[in-house]
Structure 1
Amino acid sequence: MLRTKHNLTDDFDLMQDRVSMLKQNDQEFQRLSRVYAELDHKVRGLEMRDVPTSDEHFVGLKTQRVRIKDVLYQRLKEWDEIGR
């Protein structure tokens, strides 16, 4: 298993200023960021402790995480395009 931490500032390192700004000023971005962090924590916990879980459950958590990351990325792009 990878055991890689996926925090937003590392994953979107070229957009750190935008991530910080949206975390402070956009409630939906804040909420999604928290959900993303919680999912990442769960995935990493399963990986690091080798907790027995079904592949279906593990893949489901990782799929949710990537879907939320995609939404967050779209919000970052939208912010960039409208020049806020």
Structure 2
Amino acid sequence: MLGEDHSLTKEFPEYLNTIATLNSESTEFATKAKQYDAIDKEVRVLELQDAPIDDQSMHQMKVERAELKDWLHQELMSAHAS
């Protein structure tokens, strides 16, 4: 679906407290979370503007978002389990 919000808190609402904790306690997590949300916002804006970039660039942005999401999810699961 075009323009769909995939922000970290929207994707993982069950980890809201863990996200807040990691954002304040882990510089690496906070940095990657900001990168993830920035890429997600940019993808949404571009999709709503009929993607005025080439397909390869859009695909690369989505791959980067997915890789960050996987890393963030692993961190959330590890922190939540402890």
Fold conserved (TM > 0.5)? yes
Q: CA deviation at 1:80?
A: 2.1
Look up the equivalent residue of 1:27 and give its one-letter code: T
Question: Among the aligned pairs, what percent are the same residue?
Answer: 30
Query: Which segments of 5 or more consecutive residues in structure 1 lack a partner in the other structure?
Result: none
**RCO higher in structure (CA 8 A, sep ≥6):** 2
Structure 1 counterpart of 2:21: 21
Alpha-carbon RMSD: 1.2
Structure 1 runs of 4+ with >3 Å offset: none
Aligned to 1:3: 3
Q: How many residues align?
A: 82
**What is the one-letter code of the residue matched to 1:6?**
H
* Structure 2 CA distance for aligned equivalents of residues 52 and 2 of structure 1: 14
